[in-house]
Copies of this chain bind each other. A is one copy, B any other.
């Protein structure tokens, strides 16, 4: 059958076998959740989605189950599936855990990384920079390509970490942050700042300066929190507390 998935270079989670309908549906739904087509908190009714994604209920349920393991969908027995809600609290929590995991992974990567690792890092940074220059276009395709290369850059950064678990965990958390990142990009898109941060990351990494690197990385991870808090996107529950 071989559906055209147009996912030739996607180095994403749960890959290795993009040939099943489950996998295809999984990716498509995940993409639509990240893009906001399926809003946070929205109920994902199997009966409706099966027509949208042109698969049977069983297939769809399995795809949704995969999304549950990514924490992008929540399932409550006998009451169906729901898009994972977004909130300031969740973003805080996510950023906190990300910071913990990402920083530790980077430290390990710095210890074990050799020449090939540096090569991968520089290479992915270069490709990311190229995508950054095209961000002015503001089309969905361009943004998604940037997002993909951003993922690959951060993956390369920790790729010398000796712990497969930590690497996988980092990837999952990175994916969860994507929705928030996209939200924060709506407000103050300062690609220049982001580029500078990435540049600093590379520099400190190549200089093997772990403490400086972690410092920048922490700020980098927390950036969406600050942006979203400041712009008051997302209903801040205690926004009226200032009164």
A residues with a Cβ closer than 8 A to B are: 16-20, 22-23, 58, 61-62, 65-66, 68-69, 76-79, 93-94, 96-97, 100-101, 104, 162-166, 169
Contact = CB atoms under 8 A, between A and B. Distances in A.
A23 B100 CA distance: 32
Smallest CB-CB A-B distances: 8 pairs:
A17-B77, A69-B69, A65-B65, A20-B77, A97-B165, A58-B58, A93-B163, A93-B165
A175 to B, nearest CB: 13
Nearest to A56: B58
Contacts of A65: 62, 65-66, 69
A174 to B, nearest CB: 14
Contacts of A101: 100
Given A77-B19, A78-B19, A97 B62 contact: no
Nearest to A65: B65
Contacts of A79: 17
B17 A97 contact: no
Contact of A18 (B16, B22, B23, B77): B77
A22 B81 CA distance: 14
Q: Which of A19, A78, A97, A169 has the most CB of B within 10 A?
A: A97
Contacts of A165: 93-94, 96-97
A62 B69 CA distance: 12
Contacts of A19: 77-78
Contact of A97 (B23, B66, B97, B166): B166
A23 B94 contact: no
Contacts of A100: 100-101, 104, 166
A19 B79 CA distance: 11
Given A62-B61, A97-B166, A23 B104 contact: no
A55 to B, nearest CB: 13
16 contacts: A17-B77, A17-B79, A22-B77, A62-B65, A65-B69, A66-B68, A68-B69, A93-B165, A96-B163, A96-B165, A96-B166, A97-B163, A97-B166, A100-B100, A100-B101, A100-B104
A100 B23 CA distance: 32
A77 B163 contact: no
A166 B96 CA distance: 9
